[in-house]
Amino acid sequence: MSSALHPDGKLNPADTIANPSSHETIRDLIETRLFTRRTFIKGSLGATALATVGGSLLSCVANDASAHKYKGDHKPVDQQPDIGFTPVAPNVIPMTDAVTVPAGYTARVLVSWGDSLTKAPHWDPSMPMDEATQVRCYGGHTDGMHYFAFPFTGHGALASKRGLLVTNSEYVDPALLSGVAPAADYAKVAITPEMVKAQQAGHGVNVVEIYQEKKQDWEVRRNSPFNRRITGNTPIVVSGPAAGHAMLRTEADNKGRLVLGTLNNCANGYTPWGTYLTCEENFNGYFGSVDASFVPTAHENRYGISRAGFGYRWHEADARFDLSANRNEPNRFGWVVEIDPWDPKSKPIKRTALGRFKHESAAISVDADERVALYMGDDERNEYVYKFVCARRYNKRNQHANRDMLDNGTLYVAKFNADGSGTWLPLIWGQNGLTPENGFADQAEVLIKARQAGDRLGATMMDRPEWASVHPSTGEVYLTLTNNSRRGNTPVSSNKADGTTTAATANPVVDAANPRPDNDYGHIIRWREDGDTVTATSFVWDIFVQCGDKATTKALAGSYTNAEFDGQNVGYQGNINGDDYGAPDGLWFDKHGRLWIQTDQPGDAKGDWANIGGNMMLCADPTTGETRRFLTAPPHAEVTGLIGTPDGKTMFVGIQHPGEDWATSFTDHSTWPDNGANGPTTYRGRGVAKPRSSVIVITKDDGGVIGT
Ligand code: FEO
Ligand code: CA
Ligand code: CA
């Protein structure tokens, strides 16, 4: 779209940079031999640790599809997950406008943007969206999700036939939603309060009751009392150490304890006590200033707050998003929000103890001692990885006692050392320079300014931390690092496909945990806590995989050649054992230990991505690294959000922003799902079909477990 939008050309780029510090410039890190998978297991953990991993070291629940009926699920680590399907081909140009899954599987549309969650009619996609319609219909750009089995179904087959699917609606395409075409004209039209309200209503969270009538046939229960939309205007309570802080107070909320809305809800988490966690990512893009003389403070710069924002232009019609009128409003976003899906009247809660940054996901782990931790990434170039450790133990017998677990605990930021060890650095006021003279008046300010706190502690700048997921039996945490065009080399000589050179002066150089300059294709890192307890302050780590295109002839810039990594290929070719992909983003371990990987690739089958094709979902064996492509998406769609039913026989997957291409009209590249490629949808040919973000449901034709 036009240059009035974000400079990167994407409305929700997740690819900006706000970290000017370059404290992790240890040039000789690159000399350090990277851990291989083999040395990680045998060298770092040692024979003793290896001998014990067959037992239940962690009763982690990251894969437990029925958190409301929490039960740890332990499988020996040496048991290979059964991956039995034949991979699908990449979706290369000319691209197929459909979701494709392997032979023997079926992918059908479950719910799409604008589908009614009540008995009132579905939205007619040929019309602009209005607020009244959007607040009762499925929201925009679907993202992270979780499936909550109905409590009375126990762990039997019924648990996998009826549940609440809770999903994020990360953002909207304002031109598509407000009926502005061509999309480039959105930068020029007059913005009305009605347009802004409708767009805000397209954000947030969806709680949707679903049920399986017969095999392959899941439906939305449109009149369910549980169905709920939480939007950019829903009242949300602020709790934890930053609640009520001066930096959170506004004229409309002079107590700083009640925010309207949750925005840019990217990925998610869930808790064993039956709640959903939704993570606020690129909140900064919604704010702007009508005052042309607006100059951001250092704090605002650190969070990417700018006069123009990303081009939504809400500030022109809603003073809440006008920085010249409401300077503190952005501080009220960038949090993890906890939602009780079982109580439609309950207010969601912003849990400030978990820190404020561009939250991607929140992966929970409960160890053998019932201690609870959440692993979280801050998705921006050169930002950090965090861990929150709850002060209290998880109480299995009294779920109510767990309700405020996330208000008390310690937030840590990660430092990945060159020798394969790592340290969790505590973000505690008064310690390690987190003091008033350095801009931290109290613990609330440490949390509101978590990024600056991480800077001060010398956390490791990462290649855009996206989702984390916890292995169901080992407790090892895997985390996607999607890409980083702002990591330099010495000397810097960019070899980006488009011929541009990355300005490198302020960029960190490569390090052991982020070993590629100008990291186009991304990688997946993993770590294991010392002592297999989530309260550990040290860990060991290695790189699970370097993503890339094995067929590319591109070489890394400068002096970094594959040979320097002792035979380990860390060039642009990557070292995937199986089907190629890049820009890993969504990540989820199913309970059998299959690692599902979703991609958010830029370029979409062009340039560096010609062989890899469009976005996809893959399934990997965490032990062997074997990787097979399970699903490909329509053109210009991202694959993001996934969860299985407890029996593993149904999987829900998010297909976000089909056809999103800001350079052209929105109808040019996709009419999915209303083209019927994955079964009938609610659209009935009333006008121009708009591409619509949707959740698909995947079943195996023989009724078996997905992935086998
Ligand atoms: Fe919303 Fe970092 O992806
Ligand atoms: Ca993401
Ligand atoms: Ca992404």
Is 266 near ligand 1, meaning CB less than 6 Å away? Answer: yes
Question: Which H or E run contains 539?
Answer: strand 538-546
Is 281 near ligand 1, meaning CB less than 6 Å away? Answer: yes
pLDDT above 50: residue 652: yes
Structure tokens that stand for 166 in this block: 């809770």
Is 14 near ligand 1, meaning CB less than 6 Å away? Answer: yes
Which of 449, 441, 241 lies closest to 350, judged by CA?
241
pLDDT confidence of residue 561: 45
pLDDT confidence of residue 63: 30
pLDDT above 80: residue 670: yes
User: 404-415 pLDDT, tens per residue?
Assistant: 999 999 999 999
Specify the ligand 1 atom closest to the Cα of 170: 1
Specify the ligand 1 atom closest to the Cα of 600: 3
**More confident call, 25 vs 460:** 460
CA dist list (Å): 548 to 75, 104, 315, 502, 571: 31, 28, 40, 19, 8
pLDDT confidence of residue 7: 31
Which strands make up the sheet holding 349-351, listed edge to edge?
258-260, 235-239, 349-351, 336-339, 276-280, 265-270
pLDDT confidence of residue 421: 97
Residue at token pair 């549980």: 226
Half-sphere exposure of 377 (CA within 13 A, CB side): 31
pLDDT confidence of residue 506: 59
438 C-alpha to ligand 3 centroid (Å): 33
User: 205-234 pLDDT, tens per residue?
Assistant: 999 999 998 766 899 999 999 999 999 999
Q: What is the mean pLDDT of residues 302-310?
A: 96
pLDDT confidence of residue 79: 65
Residues with Cβ < 8 Å from 189, sequence gap 6 or more? 180
Domain 13-55+66-700 has CATH 2.120.10.30: yes
pTM over 0.85: yes
User: 437-481 pLDDT, tens per residue?
Assistant: 999 999 999 999 999 999 999 999 999 999 999 999 999 999 999
**More confident call, 563 vs 41:** 563
Share of the chain above pLDDT 90, in %: 73
Q: Which ligand is in closest contact with the Cα of 383?
A: 1
Report residue 356: phi and psi, to 5°. -115, 115
Residues 447, 456 contacting (CB under 8 angstroms): no
Strands (DSSP E) along 215-358, which ranges? 217-220, 228-230, 235-239, 258-260, 265-270, 276-280, 336-339, 349-351
CA dist list (Å): 253 to 256, 290, 314, 353, 356: 6, 22, 20, 20, 19
Q: How confident is the model at residue 528 (pLDDT cuts 50, 70, 90)?
A: very high
Radius of gyration of the chain (CA): 23
> Which protein residues have a CB closer than 5 Å to ligand 3 (ion)?
14, 585, 600
User: 600-614 pLDDT, tens per residue?
Assistant: 997 678 888 999 999
- Between 71-85, 185-199, 580-594, 679-693, the lowest mean confidence (pLDDT) is in 71-85
pLDDT confidence of residue 562: 43
pLDDT confidence of residue 587: 98
Q: Map out the domains of the chain as residue ranges.
A: 13-55+66-700
Strands (DSSP E) along 186-315, which ranges? 204-214, 217-220, 228-230, 235-239, 258-260, 265-270, 276-280
Is 383 near ligand 1, meaning CB less than 6 Å away? Answer: no
pLDDT confidence of residue 303: 97
pLDDT confidence of residue 579: 98
Dihedral sign computed on CA atoms, order 60, 63, 65, 71: negative
194 C-alpha to ligand 2 centroid (Å): 29
User: 112-132 pLDDT, tens per residue?
Assistant: 999 999 999 999 998 899 999
DSSP 554: -
Measured CA to CA, the distance from residue 365 to residue 59 in angstroms comes to 8
pLDDT confidence of residue 157: 83
Residues with Cβ < 8 Å from 421, sequence gap 6 or more? 538, 539, 540, 541
Q: Which ligand is in closest contact with the Cα of 601?
A: 3
DSSP reduced 3-state for 667: coil
Q: What is the mean pLDDT of residues 541-545?
A: 96
Measured CA to CA, the distance from residue 117 to residue 138 in angstroms comes to 7
pLDDT above 90: residue 580: yes
DSSP 367: B
pLDDT confidence of residue 584: 98
Question: Which H or E run contains 52?
Answer: helix 46-52
pLDDT above 50: residue 28: no
CA dist list (Å): 514 to 130, 237, 281, 482, 620: 45, 37, 22, 11, 21
- Between 53-67, 507-521, 654-668, the lowest mean confidence (pLDDT) is in 53-67
Measured CA to CA, the distance from residue 85 to residue 101 in angstroms comes to 10
470 C-alpha to ligand 2 centroid (Å): 17
Specify the ligand 1 atom closest to the Cα of 360: 2
DSSP reduced 3-state for 632: strand
Query: Environment class of residue 28 by beta-carbon count within 10 Å: exposed (0-12), middle (13-18) or buried (19+)?
Result: exposed
Residues 264, 13 contacting (CB under 8 angstroms): no
Measured CA to CA, the distance from residue 397 to residue 394 in angstroms comes to 9
Q: What is the mean pLDDT of residues 661-669?
A: 53
Q: How confident is the model at residue 489 (pLDDT cuts 50, 70, 90)?
A: low
Structure tokens that stand for 233 in this block: 């205007």
Q: How confident is the model at residue 549 (pLDDT cuts 50, 70, 90)?
A: very high
Residues 168, 641 contacting (CB under 8 angstroms): yes
Q: What is the mean pLDDT of residues 414-430?
A: 97
186 C-alpha to ligand 2 centroid (Å): 25
| Separate counts of helices (H) and strands (E) for the chain | 8, 31
DSSP reduced 3-state for 475: coil
Specify the ligand 1 atom closest to the Cα of 377: 2
Q: Whose CA is nearest to atom 1 of ligand 1?
A: 266
Question: Which H or E run contains 325?
Answer: none
The chain-wide mean pLDDT, for the chain, equals 85
Which of 367, 379, 443 lies closest to 586, judged by CA?
379
Residues 296, 356 contacting (CB under 8 angstroms): no
Q: How confident is the model at residue 687 (pLDDT cuts 50, 70, 90)?
A: confident
Residues with Cβ < 8 Å from 393, sequence gap 6 or more? 369, 370, 371, 372
Specify the ligand 1 atom closest to the Cα of 281: 1
DSSP 153: G
467 C-alpha to ligand 3 centroid (Å): 9
pLDDT confidence of residue 667: 44
Phi-psi label, residue 374: left if phi above 0, alpha if psi -120 to 50, beta otherwise: beta
Determine the Cα angle at 351 with ends 310 and 256, to 5°: 75
43 C-alpha to ligand 2 centroid (Å): 33
Question: Taking every pair of C-alpha atoms in the chain, what is the biggest distance, in angstroms?
Answer: 67
Q: What is the mean pLDDT of residues 475-492?
A: 82
pLDDT above 70: residue 331: yes
Q: Which ligand is in closest contact with the Cα of 522?
A: 3
Specify the ligand 1 atom closest to the Cα of 143: 1
